[in-house]
Amino acid sequence: MTLLALAGCASGPDYVRPDFRPPAAYKETGPWTPAQPRVVDANQPWWTRYGDADLGALVVQANAANQDIRIAEAQYRQARAAAQLARAGFWPTVGAGVSVGRTRTPSTTGPVTTDSTALTLDASWEPDIWGRVQRSVEAGEAAAQASAADLAGARLSIQAELVQDYLQLRITDAQKDLLLQTVQEYRKALALTRSQYAAGVVTGADVALAETQLQSTRAQAIDLDVQRAQFEHAIAILTGRAPAEVSIAARPADELGLALPLVPAGLPSQLLERRPDIAAAERRAAAANASIGVAQSAYFPNLLLSAGGGFAGSSFSQWLTAPSRIWSLGAALAATIFDGGARRAQTDTAVAAYDAAVAQYKRTVLAGMQEVEDNLVVLRVLGEERAVQDSAVRAARVAARASLAQYRAGTATYLAVVTSQSALLTNQRTAVQLLGRQLAASAALVKALGGSWDAAEPADAILSVSPTPATVSAAASN
């Protein structure tokens, strides 16, 4: 009860969450529906919505072994220990000591040697009259909560980075498979030109042109190995292993096995409860507010209560006698009269730090809203662009087949065949790249939303994103 009464005298302002009213809805509406906010938690298995078991296993490994996450975990433990240290200020300090000594002193009759022994128990307590300890505890607890949010943010950041790298690796696989299929068709086209050349129907220029197209496409396929290896190396580091320890088997385009989750975007006010960085910024504002009270408590005197007791004598046996018992009680009140403006400067520093923390909090909210808006518009526009691009792929396939048929019939030059085939391959690669951008944007949106959303998502909210037959089909077919 005494502590509660003293707590009512806490110096400094009580914390009030900074007033910041976001708009009622996102500018980029699209097909997004409101979601229910959840407690900040980066352990939500959002990556499972991509429908890839290998991806899930890699994220689990990253959660357990990533070094950035381990650093954040250690910092969180450090913050919790600091909060516990501040909380210890509510309690008295008790100490004990045992001493044994022998002293030789001069006297009129000659040197005298005396023995001394002592057992003491001391206690001291500084009542938190002005709330300095209380505000220190508030600051420590808020800092620990901010560190917990930092840990959640570190997990979410690593998860999102790993998911994006993995998705891009699979998109690279799809591109490589597309190019290899195209190479097979170009081999057939080269064999056709050589047959036509042997029959004297075409010139050697057609053969050279077909050879050039084939080798150029083979080179493009080989070049993708560099990009894929870099994604694989990045995934290895994110999972806490050396690049040599990780090998991810390639997949053909028709076995991509990924799903694009339609993540419902909540209202901006719900975003405040979802993103770890926003939660951390708000908690740091609370810690800075409590630090103002700590600084202002220096204007008031400190009261120190102390007590001690024990035994003292020339030998241990004398401790059992009443004359050997010792004790003391005391109280001290001390205050600073003049400090050259140091306390005022400390208070001004704390107030300025709070103002900066509030501004940082508001800036973090705005940045989070921008990230959500950016990724919403990217997903919407890319969805529209993919639909148009698939139409372009289908049209290019028709043109490639027609030009090849005309070449066989002798009514078109091989240059027309090369042009149509190149257009088909370009459009196919663009379609696959758009898919990769859309997948990456979906992971970025999940990160922007804090990694969680309404679990009651309808089954039809997950769309297949395997490349369409028009995308992965060969550049030309017989």
Distance between CA atoms of residues 28 and 180, nearest Å: 39
- Do 175 and 427 meet the contact criterion of CB atoms below 8 Å apart? no
Name residue 48's amino acid.
T
Determine how β-strand 93-105 pairs with β-strand 112-125: antiparallel
Of 352, 404, 274, give the one whose Cα is nearest residue 360: 352
Dihedral over alpha carbons 55, 57, 58, 59 (to 10 degrees): 90
What is the spatial order of strands in the sheet that 112-125 belongs to? 93-105, 112-125, 302-313, 325-334
Give the CATH fold of the 2-91+129-300+341-472 domain.
Answer: Outer membrane efflux proteins (OEP) (1.20.1600)
Pair of tokens at residue 384: 């529209």
Do 268 and 373 touch, CB atoms closer than 8 A? no
Which sequence spans correspond to the domains of the chain? Answer: 2-91+129-300+341-472
Largest interatomic CA distance in the chain? 138
The CA distances from residue 12 to 95, 145, 204, 249, 339, in Å, are: 32, 21, 90, 61, 20
Question: CB pairs under 8 A, 24+ apart, for 419-426?
Answer: 420/396, 420/476, 421/185, 421/186, 421/189, 421/213, 421/475, 421/476, 422/213, 423/396, 423/399, 424/393, 424/396, 424/397, 424/399, 424/400, 424/475, 424/476, 425/178, 425/179, 425/182, 425/217, 425/475
Predicted confidence pLDDT, tens digits, the chain (478 residues)? 444 454 456 777 887 778 766 666 666 655 444 444 445 555 678 898 888 999 999 999 999 999 999 999 999 999 999 999 999 989 999 998 887 877 777 777 777 777 777 778 898 898 988 888 999 999 999 999 999 999 999 999 999 999 999 999 999 999 999 999 999 999 999 999 999 899 888 889 999 999 999 999 999 999 999 999 999 999 999 999 999 999 999 988 888 878 887 766 555 666 666 789 988 999 999 999 999 999 998 888 988 888 887 777 666 665 556 566 777 888 888 888 888 899 999 999 999 999 999 999 999 988 988 888 898 899 889 999 999 999 999 999 999 999 999 998 888 889 999 999 999 999 999 999 999 999 999 999 888 888 765 433 333 333 334 444 344 444 334 3
The predicted model scores a pTM of 0.82
